[in-house]
Structure 1
Amino acid sequence: MDQPIGVIDSGVGGLTVASELMRQLPKEKLIYLGDTLRCPYGPRPKEEVIQFTMEMVDFLLKKDIKLLVVACNTATAFTLELLQEKLAIPVIGVIQPGARAAIKMTQKMQIGVIGTEGTIASKAYPEALHSINSEIEVHDLACPLFVPMVERGVLNGPDAYSVIEDSLHSIKEKQQIDTLILGCTHYPLLKDTIQAVVGDAVHIISSGEETAREVSAIMGYHQTLYEGERIPMHEFYTTGSWEVFQQIANNWLNIPINIIENANIVID
């Protein structure tokens, strides 16, 4: 089926999911929309997150997408069930795939979760983890400084290390944690620095790989995979300034600048 896959995120973080989709499904076209103008979503009220997410979804539906990936954890927590009920196409979030990957990895049954204020307050990850294994002990922590730092393009170096070390102080003290879920798709862009702070003994889980695997399985089940031969031309959109978006897209996805089209759009 020649329709594209739609991916939405509050900003650039969903590029970590897009990267995995491109790697695992190299013939599928993606249309990505990052709401950088109104990022971050984490501190926003639930009703506002729902409104913004629905506006992004409406934009992508006009592109005739065949499947929607909600790559933002906060938006997943607040809108996934609503979207799955409302839309006629499959809708996949990032929380359940991340939870399943963490449970496969942990040996001590002690899992840490870091995310935005909205994601942590929603308790979506503890609920997802406990729905699979009620004996898992979950230690969650909001890290509100991470998303703005990524959106500024500060991904490593002394400043990033200092912010991450201060933010993770309390969770680092919990020596029993052997697995840490990056409960925001922005956070994998900080993965190397986060790993340096928490130590090599802690396994870090980002949901991109598992989410892409789930997308592949669902499209295989619905027989909507593209079966021809092509190098797809992806489309990337952002609601705000495109300079940092372009820089991170190029660094993370290793794609040429000219693939990023019509960047400066504003959602009504």
Structure 2
Amino acid sequence: MNALQQKPIGVFDSGVGGLTVVRALMERLPNENIIYFGDTARVPYGVKSRHTIETYTEQIVSFLLEHDVKALVIACNTIAAVAGQKVRQMAGAMPVLDVISAGATAALAVTRNQSIGVMATSTTVNSNAYARAIHAQNPQARILSQACPLLVPLVEEGWLDHEVTRLTVREYLKPLLAEDGVDTLVLGCTHYPLLKPLLKQEAPRVTLVDSAITTAEAAARALDAANLRNPNTTGADYRFYVSDIPLRFQTIGERFLGRSLEQLEMVSLG
């Protein structure tokens, strides 16, 4: 075992949603140490300018690099869409994974007819980032995107199987399911994996692509390719940093993570 392999993976998001990616990483890579940063004081990023998002992202990446991470995971669709290139410039030769690239690759791997739906926030849909990532690998693929702005607050409220959420999901799915042939649906927001049981009920014939799981799989492949996988089996260390601790953060965070949030610390950036 070398010192580089024991270094943590740095995961970051504009808020709490990226904890679904941390959860998937914990399950896929149980030996890896993880440092998470959620910019809870300045969320949401989706309504901010490209310049502001890049500035905030630069501050977060600098913070994680100071903590000597060996890889970076962009667990935020907005950051991946707007500032992914900035992250890669700062990371140098270090592996950088992001939810959009991983989701696009996974969608193309499972679709049978190259007809793919994308559910995401308005900002991610407007950025056209998923369509670009998918078309970069397969220009013939057909993409249908649906903005779902009401789903994030419903998930954070914990209404995962509430009738209001079911009716909202049903409305958002209508234009996607009305299109002939859409056989694959990318969950293009880190909140949406918590709605998978409901989505499977409402769209039983469509294959769901969970951006959290696909990102964890991509991270495993990248660590193996760079010989960075941590062989230590004595227990991983998880540290969580946020720029603010809102009143309901612990409740929401533990729901997303699927376990208790320990080693949580507030830090101010910028």
Tell me the TM-score normalized by structure 2: 0.89
Q: Tell me which of 132, 135, 143 is aligned to 1:130.
A: 135
Q: Tell me which of 45, 55, 74 is aligned to 2:78.
A: 74
User: 1:46 — aligned with what?
Assistant: 50
Aligned: 1:26 with 2:30 = yes
Contact 2:103 2:210 in 1 (8 A): yes
User: 1:235 — aligned with what?
Assistant: 239
Query: Residues of 2 paired with 1:147 and 1:59: CA distance?
Result: 27
Q: 1:144 to 1:61 in 2, by over 3 A?
A: same
The equivalences for 1:191-202 within 5 A come to: 191-197=196-202, 199-202=203-206
Aligned: 1:261 with 2:264 = yes
Contact 1:7 1:32 in 2 (8 A): yes
| Deviation for aligned residue 1:242 | 4.8
Q: Which amino acid aligns with 1:245?
A: F
Q: Which amino acid aligns with 2:134?
A: L
Contact 2:58 2:86 in 1 (8 A): no
The equivalences for 1:47-62 within 5 A come to: 47-62=51-66
**Does the residue aligned with 2:6 lie in a helix, a strand or coil?**
coil
Query: Residues of 2 paired with 1:154 and 1:62: CA distance?
Result: 38
Contact 1:35 1:239 in 2 (8 A): yes
Over 6 Å off, 4+ runs:
none
| Deviation for aligned residue 1:23 | 1.1
| Deviation for aligned residue 1:243 | 4.9
User: 1:7 — aligned with what?
Assistant: 11
The equivalences for 1:49-198 within 5 A come to: 49-88=53-92, 89-197=94-202
Query: Residues of 2 paired with 1:164 and 1:67: CA distance?
Result: 35
| Deviation for aligned residue 1:65 | 1.0
Q: 1:125 to 1:12 in 2, by over 3 A?
A: same
| Deviation for aligned residue 1:183 | 1.0
| Deviation for aligned residue 1:177 | 1.1
Report which stretch shifted further, 45-54 or 93-102. 45-54
Return 5+ residue gaps in structure 2 as ranges.
none
Contact 2:243 2:267 in 1 (8 A): yes
Tell me the TM-score normalized by structure 1: 0.90
Q: 1:225 to 1:72 in 2, by over 3 A?
A: same
Q: Which amino acid aligns with 1:265?
A: V
Q: Which amino acid aligns with 2:68?
A: D
**Does the residue aligned with 2:264 lie in a helix, a strand or coil?**
coil
Contact 1:235 1:260 in 2 (8 A): yes
Cα deviation, 1:138-164, whole Å, max 9, x if unaligned, reads: 101211222233334333312222332
Query: Residues of 2 paired with 1:167 and 1:254: CA distance?
Result: 26
Query: Residues of 2 paired with 1:3 and 1:68: CA distance?
Result: 11
Query: Residues of 2 paired with 1:77 and 1:8: CA distance?
Result: 14
Q: Which amino acid aligns with 1:207?
A: S
**Does the residue aligned with 2:47 lie in a helix, a strand or coil?**
coil
Q: 1:114 to 1:132 in 2, by over 3 A?
A: same
